[in-house]
C-alpha cells in the first residue's frame, strides 16, 4: 500500500467551492441522511468535488469538513485512505489505475505497468508532457476473476493484454475513451467463463437426471430394487459436510465427464450436450448394483438401539434412511465392511468413491469403539 499524502504546497489552490449545480446537489445529498448522520455524505461530496476539480485539494477537504461539521483530520483520513481520491493533479483525459495485487500480478499486471511507464511517464502519479495522462499502481479492485485489469476514472477494463491496454490509452489520449467498451476486453460476458457459460449447462444436466424419477429399465429386472428399497432420488447426498454446499454440482461434473470422455470432440459441443440428457441417465443408472449382489453388506433386523449414522461425515438423513432400508443400523456394521462391500454401497448410493474419500470405515470404527470421545481422539474434532 502506497503512502498517500496531499500534494505539495505549490500545487494547492487557495480555496475551493462547489459550483452552483454541484452545491445544490451537495445540499440534496446531505439531506438524504438522518439528522446527526450528515457526515455519512463525506465520500459522495469528496467524489463530486474531485469530479469538478480533477483532484482533491487541501481546500476541498477543508470545505467538505466545514460543510459536514467534521474535524478536518477525519475528512483527510477518508481522502487519503481510498485510492479513488486523487491527491494531486492527474491526467486530464485518463488516469490509469493498474491493479498490482496478486491475481492481477500473476496474470500480467507487471507488463501493463511497463506499458504505462513507456507510454505515459516512468513514475506513477506523474502526468505526461501534455498533462493528459497519468498512471499509478493500486490494490485489488475486486475484479480478480478477470485479471489483469485497470480502472480509468469510474470504469474497469478487464482481461487486458499489454497490446489492448496500449490501444485503450491511445483512445483516451485521442479523446475517444467513451468509445471503448468497458469490462472484459475478450470474449467473456461479465465474469462468466471465457467463451460462454457452458460449465453450468454441463454440470446441471446429469444432476437433474439423477434427481428426477427415472423409468425403470424393463430388461434389467434383476437390478430393480424391491418396493421397500430406496428410490434413486433418495440416495442423492444432500450436502457435503466439509464444503457445506450441495454436492450435486461436483457429482454432476464427474458424471458429465464420464459421459462425454469417450465421445468425439464434436459430440461434446454445447448443443449436443443439451440433448444428451436422456442418454446420460441410463449410463449412471446401470452402474447401480443389484440388491442380490453377493457384495451387498449383510443387513440386520432393526435393533432396539439404533446408532446415529448421521455422525459419520457424509451421511445425511436421506442416506441414513437408505442405509436403514438396507438393514444397516450400527456403526459396527459399517466398520466391518470390506472393500467389495464399500464399493457396492458406493455404487448403490451413486457416490463415485465418496465412502472412501470420507473414510466412513475409520469414522465408524472410532464411533463404534468409543463414541464421540474416540472420534475426537482420532480426528481431532467432533463428528459432524
Ligand atoms: S487482484 Fe486485481 S482486481 Fe483483484
Single out the residue in 149, 184, 219 at which a domain terminates: 184
pLDDT by residue, tens only, the chain of 384 residues = 568 999 999 999 999 999 999 999 999 999 999 999 999 999 999 999 999 999 999 999 999 999 999 999 999 999 999 999 999 999 999 999 999 999 999 999 999 999 999 999 999 999 999 999 999 999 999 999 999 999 999 999 999 999 999 999 999 999 999 999 999 999 888 988 877 666 666 554 444 444 445 544 444 444 444 444 434 434 444 444 443 333 343 444 454 445 444 444 444 444 454 444 444 444 444 568 889 999 999 999 999 889 999 899 888 888 888 899 999 999 999 999 999 999 899 888 887 788 888 889 999 999 999 998 888 888 888 887
Q: Which residues contact 85 (CB under 8 A, 6 or more apart)?
A: 46, 47, 50, 56, 78, 79
Q: pTM for the complete prediction?
A: 0.52
Last residue in a domain, options 81, 103, 133: 81
Domain match, 108 and 57 both: no
Q: Are residues 179 and 101 in the same domain?
A: yes
Residue 39, in any domain of the structure: yes
Question: Which of 83, 147, 165 for a ligand 1 pocket mutation test, highest count of atoms within 8 Å of Cβ?
Answer: 147
Q: Give the domain CATH number at 115.
A: 3.40.30.10
Last residue of a domain, one of 50, 81, 112: 81
Asked if 40 and 102 sit in the same domain, the reply is no
61 and 34, same domain (yes or no): yes
Does residue 334 lie in a domain region?
yes
Q: Is residue 276 part of a domain?
A: no
**Residue 130 and residue 61 share a domain:** no
What distance in Å separates the CA atoms of residue 345 and residue 195, rounded to the nearest whole number? 39
> Is there a contact between 273 and 260 (Cβ–Cβ < 8 Å)?
yes
372 domain residue, yes or no: yes
The torsion defined by the Cα of 290, 296, 301 and 305, in degrees rounded to 10, comes to -130
- Cα dihedral value 286, 291, 297, 303, nearest 10: 130
Residues 73 and 112 grouped into a single domain: no
CATH code of residue 18: 1.10.10.1590
Same domain, 100 and 180: yes
Q: Is residue 344 part of a domain?
A: yes
CA–centroid distance, residue 144 to ligand 1 (Å): 4
* Short-list 307, 347, 344, CA closest to 324: 307
58 in a domain, yes or no? yes
CA contacts within 13 A on the Cβ side of 333: 20
All residues at 6 or more sequence positions from 178 whose CB lies less than 8 Å from its CB, including other chains: none
Q: Is residue 106 part of a domain?
A: yes
Is residue 361 one of the residues assigned to a domain?
A: yes
Give me the number of domains the chain comprises: 3
Residue numbers of the domain that contains 20: 9-81
Name all residues whose Cβ lies below 6 A of ligand 1: 99, 101, 103-104, 140-144, 147, 149
Whether residues 100 and 55 share a domain: the answer is no
Q: Does 71 share its domain with 117? A: no
Check whether residue 106 and residue 39 sit in a common domain.
no
Residue 102 CA: which ligand 1 atom is closest? Answer: 1
| Residue 321 CA, ligand 1 centroid: distance in Å | 46
Beta strands across the sheet bearing 133-138 = 133-138, 94-99, 150-152, 155-158, 183-184
Which atom of ligand 1 is least distant from the CA of 148? 2
| Same domain, residue pair 50 and 102 | no
* Ligand 1 center to 57 CA (angstroms): 28
Q: Measured in angstroms, how far is the CA atom of residue 48 from the centroid of ligand 1?
A: 25
Q: Are residues 101 and 76 in the same domain?
A: no
Amino acid at each position: 500500500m502506497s503512502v498517500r499524502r496531499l500534494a505539495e504546497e505549490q500545487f494547492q489552490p487557495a480555496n475551493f467551492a462547489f459550483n452552483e449545480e454541484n452545491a445544490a446537489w451537495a445540499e440534496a445529498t446531505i439531506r438524504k441522511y438522518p439528522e446527526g448522520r450528515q457526515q455519512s455524505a463525506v465520500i459522495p461530496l469528496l467524489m463530486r468535488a474531485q469530479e469538478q476539480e480533477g483532484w482533491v485539494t487541501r481546500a476541498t477537504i477543508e470545505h467538505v469538513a466545514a460543510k459536514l461539521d467534521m474535524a478536518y483530520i477525519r475528512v483527510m483520513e477518508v481522502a487519503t485512505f481510498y485510492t479513488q481520491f486523487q491527491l494531486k493533479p492527474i491526467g486530464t483525459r485518463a488516469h490509469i489505475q493498474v491493479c498490482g495485487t496478486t491475481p492481477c500480478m500473476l496474470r500480467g499486471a507487471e507488463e501493463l505497468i511497463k506499458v504505462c511507464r513507456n507510454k505515459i511517464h516512468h513514475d506513477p502519479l506523474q502526468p505526461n508532457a501534455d498533462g493528459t495522462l497519468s498512471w499509478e499502481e493500486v490494490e485489488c479492485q475486486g475484479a480478480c476473476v478477470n485479471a489483469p485489469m485497470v480502472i480509468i476514472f469510474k470504469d474497469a477494463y478487464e482481461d487486458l493484454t499489454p497490446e489492448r491496454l496500449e490501444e485503450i490509452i491511445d483512445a483516451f489520449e485521442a479523446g475517444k475513451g467513451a468509445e471503448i467498451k468497458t469490462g472484459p476486453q475478450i470474449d467473456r460476458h461479465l465474469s462468466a467463463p471465457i467463451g460462454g457459460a457452458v460449465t453450468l449447462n454441463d454440470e446441471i444436466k446429469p444432476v437433474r437426471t439423477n434427481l428426477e424419477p427415472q423409468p425403470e429399465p424393463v430388461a434389467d429386472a434383476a437390478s430393480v430394487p424391491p418396493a421397500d428399497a430406496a428410490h434413486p432420488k433418495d440416495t442423492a447426498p444432500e450436502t457435503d459436510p466439509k464444503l457445506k454446499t450441495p454436492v450435486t454440482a461436483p457429482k454432476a461434473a464427474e458424471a458429465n465427464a464420464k459421459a462425454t470422455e469417450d465421445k468425439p470432440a464434436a459430440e461434446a459441443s454445447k448443443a449436443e450436450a443439451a440433448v444428451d440428457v436422456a442418454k446420460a441417465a441410463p449410463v449412471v443408472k446401470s452402474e447401480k448394483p443389484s440388491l442380490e449382489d453377493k457384495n451387498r453388506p449383510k443387513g440386520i433386523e432393526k435393533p432396539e438401539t439404533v446408532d446415529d449414522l448421521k455422525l459419520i461425515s457424509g451421511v445425511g438423513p436421506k442416506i441414513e434412511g437408505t442405509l436403514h432400508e438396507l438393514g444397516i443400523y450400527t456403526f459396527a456394521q459399517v466398520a466391518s465392511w470390506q472393500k467389495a462391500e464399500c464399493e457396492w454401497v458406493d455404487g448403490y448410493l451413486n457416490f463415485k468413491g465418496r465412502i472412501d474419500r470420507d473414510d466412513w470405515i475409520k469414522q465408524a470404527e472410532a464411533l463404534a469403539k468409543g463414541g464421540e470421545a474416540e472420534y475426537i481422539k482420532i480426528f481431532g474434532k467432533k463428528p459432524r
